[in-house]
Amino acid sequence: MEEQDWVYSDVVKDHFLNPRNYLMGDESKFDYDAVGLVGNPICGDQMRMYIKVVGGVITDVRWKTYGCASAIASTSALSELAKGKTLDEALKIDAKMIDDYLGKLPKHKFHCSVLGHDALRDAIEKYRTKK
Ligand code: FES
């Protein structure tokens, strides 16, 4: 493995140290319409993603995780990308888009970006099935 493979971009560091839309406290503090929950089979980490939907648009997002620094940075970025998008648009956000937004994760941490992404998909699916 090359030394460069361990370098975090400034954007990754900023989102890890200042995570956007992180749910502080318990979930009763956020008025959400659906919650997605996934675990990462590679490392065992977990992610919960809460969405508020108005007129088919994700107006707000919160999340919690037991994940690593890369998962925290990735989900912070994802939460920014998802806000203001329709459900269909949000489903098109993929791990590569998150990776590009962050200025690239170290290659061996790319799988961490999938955690939030899958939790968002799960939340959207649950939202649609309860309607
Ligand atoms: S090592 Fe588990 S999400 Fe990154």
Mutating to test ligand 1, I would choose from 38, 66, 68, 72 the residue with most ligand atoms within 8 A of its C-beta, which is 68
Number of domains within the chain: 1
To 10 degrees, what angle do helices 69-82 and 113-130 make?
40
Q: What is the CATH number of the domain that holds 76?
A: 3.90.1010.10
Q: Judge contact between 65 and 47, C-beta under 8 A.
A: yes
Q: Which residue range(s) make up the domain with 54?
A: 3-130
pLDDT tens sequence for the chain (131 residues): 565 567 899 999 999 999 999 999 898 989 999 999 998 877 888 999 999 999 999 999 999 998 899 999 999 999 999 999 999 999 999 988 999 999 988 888 888 888 898 999 999 999 999 86
Mutating to test ligand 1, I would choose from 70, 72, 76, 113 the residue with most ligand atoms within 8 A of its C-beta, which is 70
Residues 1-30 as b/e (b if ≥16 CB within 10 A, e otherwise) read eeeeeeebeeebebbbeebbbebeeeeeeb
Q: Which protein residues are within 6 Å of ligand 1, measured from CB?
A: 40, 43, 45, 67-68, 70-71, 112, 115
